[in-house]
Chains A and B, each alone.
Chain A
Amino acid sequence: MGIELLRHPFVIFLVGALLVAVTRGNLRKALLLLTPVIGGINILGLEAGTTVEFAFLDYTLIPLRVDRLSLLFGYLFHLAALIGNIFALHLRDEDNARVQHTAALLYAGSALGAVFAGDMITLFVFWELLALTSVFLIWARKTERSIKAGFRYLVIHVLSGVILLAGTLLRAHQVGSLEFGDIGLDGSLAGWLILLAFGIKAAFPLLHNWLTDAYPEGTATGTVFLSAFTTKVAVYALARSYAGTEILIYVGAVMTCFPIFYAVIENDLRRVLGYSMINQIGFMVCGIGIGTALAVNGAVAHAFSDVIFKGLLFMCMGSVLHMTGRMNGSDLGGLYKSMPITTVLCIVGAASISAFPLFSGFVSKSMVMAAVLQEGHVWVWPALLFASAGVFHHAGIKIPYFTFFAHDAGIRTTEPPGNMLVAMFIGAGLCITIGSRPSLLYGILPYVTDYTPYDVTHVLTQTQLLWFGALAFIGLQKTGIYPPELRSVNIDAEWTYRWMAPRLVRGIGGAVARVDSAVRGAVIGTVQRVMHSATRSHGPHGILARTWPTGSMVLWVAVLLAAYLVFYF
């Protein structure tokens, strides 16, 4: 077991992170590149069916379980770690480079630990590690906002872990097993708790706000890592444990639709990408809810595509932030003049997320769409189609348009450092490769598939959908209906815990304080009144506490004795 554990993908990243933490300069850069490469070679040698397990009390723990589903995410996370590390290679000491590099490797390792976990306790450990390691990529920005957003992020994710643990223990008690396998909703509380924990990390509606709160506050390079791992681990966990759970079809459909409205009116372009991310996860959740081979294939294939193209878009925005210090649509524009290469790479990412034929989103999202119709969900399909048009609108057009075109904000800068460009080129290359050679992706999906994305109908209808969506954009711009980018905040579910809860606590606190002071006042008043009357009667001048002169006592004794004598005789 010991030797096999050394081949655990997490162990390689842990060693890499420890070495990165104590080195600097070119050695550290080499380690940053070597860790995912060595990890990648290792994982290519892992065979489906390999497991490492040991007994723990009455239960079996399985820290390593290799099958087609975990391998797919394993490949993906190695790729994402490599691209992310290349993108962050230029970081200097003043950027908290040591912290960021170490945290990023540990974070990627935790994601790998979670997808190769075969039992719920191991999953729980990596679930919490994901939060603890990734928060440093937010804090490393070192602004007041990022520190606060990081704390909120941490609290929510640790809470998700605690709920996961509660569900796990309850389930272990009920079914006597800790296996991380099919769970589903059988009406038990444990099933619901675990789904809730997964749902928080997957950014289900109303539980989603940690994502759009924290991701825009991360560092220019850190958010690229953030976008790759946390939510995709959740998608993996849902695919493993809740495939075919009907409620997920509707949860997914809502997730595809509601964020795009926010994305249209959001000014911070990385927050726009955050909303767009929830929209894309919606397609995956929907596919998992349908649960057929085609649907689950589609869901995980789309997770694969999404990590690459969303990573590419976050890298493009990270480059812009790095070079200009700005991220609001209202402050940007005209950057195609000084960042033409970044512009083209961003358009590749935009075309991929929009699912244009020949780009990666087209070959993965369409599997979910096809599965929805195959299973007869005729009312879910129009919602997903609406969201497909909408994603092109806010991510495909809005992001490149307001950053690189629109009105010229007068910014003249240069292309980002070479390492950033290389990372973006790799991302863009993968988007086009997957889009034009889908068999490469289809070959590693969990179920064997004969799905063909490219037929005349599909290419034509998808192009019509997107092209006329763009036509609407042009129409809205020309008529002046399109809302301008404004410096603003839009209220979302976070309002409940960032605005209402503090005021509620303060309000309740104030009321309690008022009642408390009234009660105290009444009691103190009563005590004071009692004291006052006691003082009056028993105090130094009180009638009952007065000191009497000795002479008068003698007089009274004499009077008593005289009276006694009189009565005696």
Chain B
Amino acid sequence: MSEHGPHTTDDGRTYLFDDPKNVDRFVNGFYVVCVVLVILDFVVHRHISHRWENLWAFHALYGFGACWMLVVIAKQMRRVLMRDEDYYDGD
């Protein structure tokens, strides 16, 4: 497989997310959607298929908690599992 090297390192142009303001705009827009999604939980009558779903905004809380826990645990796993990149080389 021909795997080309990077062509140039910088072209001096400014791109969308080079401006921190645009990053902030993006993230703020994201927060707004989060708030809307939680408010919708008051408005929409959800079907309940699992008793945990009776909890207000259950899926939002679960999604947030699951991802946070996933990363925190995975990070701790590195202490046990991580080795040098060439760990298996030479075998």
Contact = CB atoms under 8 A, between A and B. Distances in A.
A121 to B, nearest CB: 36
A414 B11 CA distance: 12
A492 B87 CA distance: 12
Contacts of A325: 3-6
Contacts of B31: 471
Contact of A489 (B41, B44, B87): B87
Interface string B1-29: 11111111111010111100000000100
B30 A474 contact: yes
Nearest to A213: B88
Contacts of B37: 460, 463-464, 467-468
Contact of B74 (A94, A264, A411, A467): A264
A7 interface: no
A333 to B, nearest CB: 11
A343 B40 CA distance: 31
B64 A468 contact: yes
Contact of A264 (B3, B13, B70, B84): B70
B85 A412 contact: no
Contact of B70 (A140, A393, A491): A393
Nearest to B48: A457
A208 to B, nearest CB: 15
Contacts of A322: 1-4
A324 B52 contact: no
B87 A465 contact: no
A481 interface: yes
Interface in A328-351: 336-338
Nearest to B70: A390
A460 B74 contact: no
Given A393-B70, A411-B6, A460 B41 contact: yes
A299 interface: no
Contacts of B53: 461
Contact of A321 (B3, B38, B89): B3
A490 B83 contact: yes
B91 to A, nearest CB: 6
A468 B4 contact: no
A156 to B, nearest CB: 16
A5 to B, nearest CB: 36
A309 B78 CA distance: 29
Instruction: Give chain A's interface secondary structure class.
Output: helix
Interface in B35-91: 37-38, 40-41, 44, 46-47, 49-53, 57-68, 70-75, 77-78, 80-89, 91
Contacts of A474: 27, 30
B67 A265 contact: no
A323 B51 CA distance: 50
Contact of A389 (B2, B33, B47, B63): B63
Contact of B68 (A221, A460, A475): A475
Nearest to B67: A472
Contact of B1 (A141, A390, A482): A141
B75 A481 contact: yes
A300 interface: no
A477 to B, nearest CB: 10
B34 A467 contact: yes
B53 to A, nearest CB: 8
Contact of A413 (B6, B77, B89): B6
B59 A489 contact: no
Given A412-B7, A460-B40, A467-B33, A488 B70 contact: no
A337 B84 CA distance: 32
Contacts of B65: 472
Given A220-B1, A457-B46, A389 B27 contact: no
Contacts of A527: none
A275 B80 CA distance: 19
A108 B31 CA distance: 45
A338 B8 CA distance: 11
Contacts of A482: 71
Given A265-B82, A467-B33, A490-B78, A472 B68 contact: yes
Nearest to A144: B89
Contacts of B17: 336, 405
B84 A489 contact: yes
B66 A414 contact: no
Contact of A95 (B2, B7, B62, B88): B2
Interface in A401-459: 405, 408, 410-414, 455-457
Pairs of residues from A and B, 7 with the lowest C-beta to C-beta distance, nearest first:
A325-B3, A472-B67, A465-B63, A264-B74, A468-B63, A389-B66, A468-B64
Interface of A: 92, 94-95, 140-142, 145, 219-221, 260-262, 264-265, 321-326, 336-338, 370, 373, 378, 381-382, 385-386, 389-390, 392-393, 405, 408, 410-414, 455-457, 460-476, 481-483, 486-492, 498-499, 502
12 contacts: A95-B1, A141-B1, A219-B1, A326-B6, A390-B67, A411-B6, A456-B44, A460-B40, A469-B66, A474-B30, A475-B68, A489-B82
